[in-house]
Amino acid sequence: MSRELRLGVNIDHVATIRNARGGGHPDPVHAAKMAEKAGADGVTAHLREDRRHISDSDIARLMEAIELPLNLEIAATNEMLATALLHKPHAACIVPEKREERTTEGGLDVAGGKATLAPIIGRLKDAGIRVSLFVEPDARQLDAAAELAADIVELHTGRYCDTVAATRDAELRRIIRAAQHAHAAGLECHAGHGLTFDTVGPVAAIGEVVELNIGHFLIGEAIFSGLDSAICRMRALMDQARAMTGAQQSA
Ligand code: PXP
């Protein structure tokens, strides 16, 4: 189990605001550089098929401008595979995508989609791109990810974040069990979706999770406190929760 917990900042919604007016402001690349200075360990961007936020040129500019590793979220399509192979980000996170959805709803059906996913994963890995699969915290999906030799699974925390307080503990336990299962299967374990200052602590405390990817809340919070301050506070909450796990393990 790792003491290290990285923060990947998802900058999609900086582009959402930019695109509302069609100009160049606010620039997601500028946000990525600010995230870098504020203590992020990585930048995440989702190039959606409908290009509703991040654009192809944003990806090209991010690859040029940032030192931090880029985690490029893509759907499992030939177009997105070609884009990833063109830009060669540090990692590609394969997510399910539906045009009509507001955000990524649910995890990828890895178990049911092995035939489609296997060649895509193979091409990405051959190009030296780490492959992550965004899945529900479900052992069947994790076993399928391990069978396909994915490097990473990112556990979908949406249900845990969105549920009412009475069922949140049960959702958290699912994530804990899944993180342990992923780790035992040799998969690097990340988590994300819907995390806020209020929900991040218990997920950050899971020793098997080594990276959290957080976007919407941080960009929203930046309106009130600034991006720098929002990222610093998130980082501090993650570190605090992780330090408690470390103290419990060494006690
Ligand atoms: N991880 C993945 C795979 C995602 O698709 C998203 C949303 O784009 C996130 C993390 C971040 O979710 P949120 O914007 O709710 O923090």
Determine the Cα–Cα distance for residues 168 and 223; give it in Å rounded to an integer.
Answer: 28
Is pTM beyond 0.75? Reply is yes
Closest by CA position to 238, among listed 174, 210, 1: 210
Going from N- to C-terminal start, the domains of the chain cover 6-250
Residue 99 Cα distances to 52, 75, 163, 221, angstroms: 10, 11, 24, 26
Determine the Cα–Cα distance for residues 61 and 235; give it in Å rounded to an integer.
Answer: 26
For the CA of 93, the nearest atom of ligand 1? 3
| 90 is known as an active-site residue | no
- How remote is the CA of residue 251 from the centroid of ligand 1, in Å? 34
Residue 81 Cα distances to 16, 37, 89, 182, 239, angstroms: 23, 30, 12, 25, 35
Q: pLDDT truncated to tens, each residue of the chain (251 aa)?
A: 556 899 999 999 999 999 999 999 999 999 999 999 999 999 999 999 999 999 999 999 999 999 999 999 999 999 999 999 999 999 999 999 877 777 777 899 999 999 999 999 999 999 999 999 999 999 999 999 999 999 999 999 999 999 998 899 999 999 999 999 999 999 999 999 999 999 999 999 999 999 999 999 999 999 999 999 999 999 999 999 999 886 666 66
| 46 is known as an active-site residue | yes
Pocket lining: 73 vs ligand 1, CB cutoff 6 Å: yes
CATH of the structural domain 6-250, one choice from 3.80.30.20, 3.20.20.70, 3.20.20.150, 1.20.1070.10 = 3.20.20.70
Tokens of 234: 């998130």
